[in-house]
Structures are given as C-alpha cells and as structure tokens.
Amino acid sequence: MAKKKITPRQKMINLMYVVLMAMLAMNVSSDVLKGFSLVDEGLNRTKDNSSVQNEAIYATLEDAMKQNPEKTRAWYQKAMHVKAATDSLYDFAEQLKVDIVREADGKDGDVHNIKSRDNLEAATHVMLAPGVGKGAKLKAAIDGYREKVLRIINDSVQRRIIGSNLSTEVPSTLSGLGKNWQEYMFENTPVVAAVTLLTKLQTDVKQAESQILHKLISNIDVKDVRVNQISAFVIPSSKTVVRGGSFSADIVMAAVDTTQRPDIYVGNTLLKSSNGHFETVCNSVGDFTLKGYIVMHNGNGEEIRREFEQPYTVVEPSATVSATLMNMLYAGYQNPISVSVPGVPANKINVSMTNGTLTKKGNGQYVAVPSKVGTDAVFTVTAENEGRQQQMGKFEFHVRKLPDPTGYIEVQDASGNKDRFKGGRISKQVLLTAGGIGAAIDDGLLNIAFRVVGFETVFVDRMGNAMPEVSNSASFTPNQISRIRSLSRGKIFNISRIKVIGPDGIQRTLPSSVEVIIN
C-alpha cells in the first residue's frame, strides 16, 4: 500500500508539536518537582504510621487466635486474606517505583534519592511500552483489590471512601481525550510525580486495610473475656456456712443480657428475685446441694435451659474473710475487705496482713492495699475467746495488677444525662461540648476512675496525610477543637496514646484507641 504523502503544512504542524513538547519538558519547574518530593515524604510518613497501627491490630488478632481459636478463626482468616492482598498490591507498587527510577537513573537508581526527577520518558516506558508496559497490570491489580475489600465492608460511608480512593476511572473532563487510566496517570509524567502517585496508592491501600481490620476486630471484641458457650453458674458468698447463719448465692447465666432477665428455678420453684439473688437460713450442720435450672430465650426466640448445681457445707462457727467487691485483690488499690467471726463482736476481732497494709474502717470493714503483684496476701484472723486470743484462720488472696481502663468521651444527652462515649458515630455539636476525655475500669464489678494526663488525636487530610495533635491534659487543645470543627459528616479520626494514672500511682499508655465518626 502506498504511503500517504504529508503536505508541507502538516510537516510544519508536526515539527511545531515536537518543539512544543521539548519546551514543556525543559520548563518543568524545579519548585514543582520539589513540591512532589515534599508530598511524597508526607505520604510516606502517613503510610508508615498506618503500617504500624495495622501491625498492632494483627498482633492483637494473633493473641485472640491463641486464646480462643474457635471464636476468632473466621475473622482471623479474613484478616490474613486482606493482609496477603494488601501486601501483594503494596509490593507491586514499590517494585514499579524502583523500575521507573532505575529506568531514569540507571541500575543503581535509588527511590529515596532520585537524580533525574524531571525525566518524562522513564514512567512512560515502564508503564506504557507496547507489550511490556505494566500500567494495565497495575490497573487490574487495583480493581481486583478494591472489589475484594469492598465485599467485606458493609458501611456505606466506608465503602464510598475506599471506592473513591482506589478508583481507576478517568475523570469525566478528560475522558474525551481517548486516554485510558494508565495513560492518564503515567504518560509523559516526570519520574518524581510517578513515584509520588505510586506512594499515594500505597497509602490508600494501607488505610483501606486499616478500616477493614477495625471492622473485623470489632466483630470479635478482642479486649473482652472470650465465651463460646452459655452456662449456668452459682456464685455463693461462701461454700461454708456457720450454723445459725445464712447461705446466700447469686445465680446467673454467663453472659447475661441486662435487657432480658432469665427465669431461675430452685428445684421446681421460680425464684422471685430481679437480680438472681438466693438466700436461705441454715439451721443444721452438714453437706447440702443447691440445684435448679435457668430458662431464657435467644435472639431467635428459642428457649435455652441450663441446669445448675452447687454444693455447700454448714459448719460450727469459724472466722470468715471475704473481699467486698472481688475475689482478687489489686496491688496499689484500696480493696474493701469484710472480716467477721460469728458470735464474736467486731471490737474483739484482730486482723493482720502480709504483702501490704491493712486499715480498719469500723464494724468489721477494712481497706487492704497489697504491695507486690504475684505474691499472695495472707490475712490472719484472731479473736478474743474466754479472755485469750485464739487464731480463727488464715486466708490467702491472689494479688494482681489493676487492668487497663477504657478511654471514653464524657458527653451529655438531650436530657442532660451524662454518658460515656467509647467510639462510633457522634454528632459534632455533642463532641465539641464534651471538652475532653476520661478513662475508667467500668466492667460491672469495678468502677475505678483513672486520671488522664495526655492523649493524641490523628486526623487525615484530603491528601491522605495523617495529622497528629497531642494534648498534655484530659482536655482537647484549641488545635484539636479546630480540627474537629472542620470535619464534615462521615469523617473519621482516632484518639490514641491515652496516658493515664490509676489509684496505684502507675502511669500507663492504653493500647486501645477510640474511633470517632462524625454523624
């Protein structure tokens, strides 16, 4: 076929186009190139911070898997699939950065020290060269990753954010130019800009991974005690009762829904108690057994019945020592202790304690403050009997460290009632009037306040940069309040690195964070 003859006018147009492109290449501003380098540095910091947070969540999942594999396995396996997919796309983007830089600077090219930052051909060749260009493969990898992770996320706001960040659609204003996504991103793109675009992709991937991990970890409540079955329990105040005294016990089903109380039967008689408390007077010495069953309904309306059985012994008078709030004693904490000897007045009872200090508060009530964790506290009870001191018994309690409290934001509802917001959706107005955060052990047994001495908030700007703000008190700083005020509906920020001091005087940094979604 004969070649079409090019007119002199067309030759001139082509030549002018070549000259124009050469002039554009020579006039890439060094300030613009420097700006790309600064953006890349910021994105790398955000990416590295996200990686550290994600690794911490993976470690928590590992611990949960070891503690309760049956309950955790399904969520753990999903997390491992997400990790494998994230690492694959992340590593592919990293290799592309290396390939582009080496195409521009030679085989010794360094992504962290780019010499030919304004080179317009390297990215085009690596990503778009006919037959060997990797741009189409990158687009397919991003599309595949996006679809995979969106199948795990149900929240519409999170889906929209992840879908937007990982979109491979060409902007509608440029679609008429006939370019595909890889051409739009990498054709005639300076090396430093191409590297920055790939770093942004890595940042978006890490943040998508973070949102998915938070979703998975919320499904297994890894900071709570694991249960994999529903069982009935009887919690007696003592298995041994003095003749003439009372046997008392709390009958519960673990875990109990406070909005749905079970029916408790002792023998075949319904227990008429709103909190499951049972008590009977013991007038005879010997061994006895408390038997019965508990009936409740699950979410599907199905009846669940569990039998319970608790032996107890009624004996002649002896000393009794019981912890008022708990079976364990906490080091450095003022543990309330009750001490009594049936038939002996409280003013004729003496109590001593090892591994700590014991302070009498009156009428058989004491406060025990153990010193060392892991060393049992031993209480020795003596009573005046017929004019002489008689030892009534020794009692050992295990000593443990106070558990970590939970961080929260103290807010007020429309009626002015105080509430502890521990994460999720909250209106900006309620958040701004809160003023700061608190921390407490609030697990139903203990209600111990900790003093917050500092915390960090992490916001993410439109470029994906993490912007930490530190407060050295329990209150939001003016900068933090300004950041919160600027957030729009659906935006997320985290409160982490919460530093607290407990009643034991020990300062600790809480491992958990509070995720806040503006409603």
* Per-position DSSP letters for 45-65, written without gaps between them: HHHHHHHHHHHHHHHHHHHHH
Digitized pLDDT (tens) for each residue of the chain, 519 residues in all = 444 455 555 555 455 544 444 444 444 555 566 666 677 777 778 888 888 888 988 888 888 888 888 878 888 888 899 999 999 999 998 999 899 999 988 988 888 888 888 888 888 999 999 988 898 999 999 999 999 988 888 888 888 888 888 888 887 765 546 788 888 888 888 988 888 889 888 989 988 898 888 888 877 654 443 344 566 666 766 555 544 456 777 776 666 555 567 889 998 889 887 777 888 888 776 778 889 998 877 644 567 888 988 887 665 555 656 655 556 898 888 889 988 887 677 888 899 999 999 999 988 899 999 998 889 999 999 988 767 788 888 899 999 888 889 999 988 877 778 888 999 999 988 888 887 899 998 876 677 889 999 999 999 888 888 899 999 999 999 999 999 999 999 999 999 999 999 888 889 999 999 999 998
What's residue 354's pLDDT? 95
Residue 380 bridge partners (DSSP): 352, 394
What is the amino acid identity at position 444? G
Owner of token pair 């609030």: 442
Question: Residue 466, SS3?
Answer: strand
Amino acid (one-letter) located at 185: M
d(CA 118, CA 30): 8
Exposed/middle/buried for 106, CB within 10 Å: 0-12, 13-18, 19+?
Answer: exposed
Other C-beta atoms closer than 10 Å to the C-beta of 341 total 24
CA-nearest of 375, 378, 379 to 400 is: 375
Q: Please give the Cα distance from 273 to 398 (Å, whole number).
A: 32
Q: At what angle do helices 156-165 and 135-150 cross, to 10 degrees?
A: 170
Q: Look at residue 2 and give its three-state secondary structure.
A: coil
Q: What would the DSSP string read from start to end of 361-414?
A: EETTEEEEEE-STTS-EEEEEEEEETTEEEEEEEEEE-EEPPPP-EEEEEEE-T
Contact 288, 322 (CB under 8 A): no
Angle of helix 135-150 versus helix 191-220 axis, rounded to 10: 20
Scored b (16 or more CB within 10 A) or e, 233-271 reads: bbebebeebbeebebebebbbeebeeeeebebbbeeeeb
Contact present, 337 and 378 (Cβ < 8 Å): no
- For 152, other C-beta atoms within 10 Å of its C-beta total 17
pLDDT of residue 376: 93
| C-beta of residue 314 within 8 angstroms of C-beta of residue 282 | yes
pTM to 2 decimal places: 0.41
**Cβ–Cβ < 8 Å for 188, 120:** yes
Q: How many CB atoms lie within 10 A of CB 121?
A: 15
* Amino acid at residue number 80: M
Phi, psi of 164 (to 5 degrees): -70, -45
d(CA 392, CA 178): 93
Report helix, strand or coil for 275. coil
The CA angle 288-316-391, to the nearest 5 degrees, is 130
Burial of residue 386, with CB atoms counted within 10 A of its CB: 0-12 exposed, 13-18 middle, 19 or more buried:
exposed
Both tokens of residue 249? 């016990």
Cα(189)–Cα(183) distance, integer angstroms: 10
Q: What share of the chain is helix, strand, coil (3-state, %, to 5)?
A: 35, 30, 30
